[in-house]
Amino acid sequence: MANRVVFVGVEQTLKDLKKFDKDAVSKFTKTINKALALAKTEAKSYIPDEPPLSGWSRTPSANPRKSVRNGRGFPAWEPGLMRAGVVASRAQGKVRKKDYTTSAGALINKTPAGVVFELAGRKPGGGSTASGTNFKKVLSDRNSSASRVVWRAVDRNRDKIEKDFARALLEAQNTLQIALESNK
């Protein structure tokens, strides 16, 4: 993740710009939303209709084991629900302690099954059980390695979205600058 782009002044620019030109704010928002929507659509397309493993139930467990997910059992493979659980967000969210940045645009994979499909096998090595190890292996063999949905889409689209974002932000800043100068 070297050379990541961190934007500054987005919130303040939009806040100030809103006082002068709401259309410009809308344009900025539209640009960003459009870019995020494309990534979201792509992420959804990575969720196959069929379960990646034949034994992955399509329906929630009738009598799940209490030890699994607080009694809810292993999440069912419901592609429609999983795709609906992939959303784009521009909420700032938590501050990352590492660099004190917040999110200005993100994809979120919400559903439990989606999360399992996204992350299973990310940690190197086998699983804690034999079946877990097999699960990871088969899942990785039949699909790509871990980071299969939202992260995959993000990795593919990050550069473009960052550039779109930079361009839209610069445009908004220029608009604001013009507005400020004309209102001196």
Partner 1 sequence: MAKGAVVARIVSEYSDKGTRAATKDFQKLGKDSHGLGKQFEDLGKKLAKAFAVVEIAKFAYSTIKTAEAVNGAFSKMNIAFANTGSILNSNSPAVQSAVDKMTSLAFTSADTADALARGATIFHSAGAAMNNMGLAADIARTSGMSLGDAMVLLGKAAEGKVAKPLAALGVVMPKVGTNAQKFKIITDQLTASLKGQAEAYAQTHPIEAMKAKFEELTNSLGQLLLPVFNAVVKFLDTMLIPIMVKFINFIRQNPKYIQPLANVWALIVNILAKVGVVVLRTGAHFAQVLSVIAQVVRGIGYITGSKELKDWGKSAADGLGNAAKGMTAAADKLDKFHMNAVKLKVTSPIVVKSLKDIAKQTDLTATATGKLTAEQIKVLAALKDLKVTPTTSTDPIELEAARLNLLKQQNIEAQSGLDKLIANYEAMMKNNVEAQRYSDILGVISDNKISVEEVQILAAKWGISKEAVVQYIGKIFDIPQLMDPTEAARLGFKGMLDLLDQVIAKMKLVGAGSTSAATQTPFQQAVTAATNSNANKAKLAGVDILGGTFSGGSASSSGYNPLSGMLPTPGLTPYNPLSGMVASYGTSQFAANNASTTSSNAPSTAGTTTVNLNVDGHTIATAVLPSVTQGILQNQISGKSIVYSGFAV
Question: Contact residues for partner 1 (CB under 8 A)?
Answer: 2-12, 32, 36, 39, 85, 89, 92-93, 95-112, 114-115, 118-119, 149-151, 153-154, 157-158, 161-163, 165-167, 170
In terms of CB distance, is 130 or 184 closer to partner 1? 184
Q: Please list, in sequence order, all residues whose beta carbon lies within 8 angstroms of the beta carbon of residue 101, skipping any fewer than 6 positions away.
A: 6, 95
CB of 118 to partner 1, least distance (A): 5
24/150 with CB nearer partner 1:
150
Query: Nearer to partner 1 by C-beta: 53 or 106?
Result: 106
Nearer residue to partner 1 within complex by CB, 13 or 130 = 13
Q: How far is the CB of 162 from partner 1 (least distance, A)?
A: 6
Residue 1 neighbours by CB distance under 10 Å: 4
Decide if 33 contacts 88 (C-beta within 8 A): yes
Q: How far is the CB of 76 from partner 1 (least distance, A)?
A: 16
Q: How far apart are CA 117 and CA 6, in angstroms?
A: 29
> Least separation, in Å, of the C-beta of 9 and partner 1?
6
The label of the residue with tokens 């069929």 reads 50
Question: Which is closer to partner 1, CB of 130 or CB of 181?
Answer: 181
Using alpha carbons only, give the angle 160, 89, 83 rounded to the nearest 5 degrees: 90
Contacts of 31 (CB under 8 A, 6+ apart): 164, 167, 168
Q: Which of 142, 145, 141 is CA-nearest to residue 120?
A: 145
Shortest separation between residue 37's beta carbon and partner 1, angstroms: 12
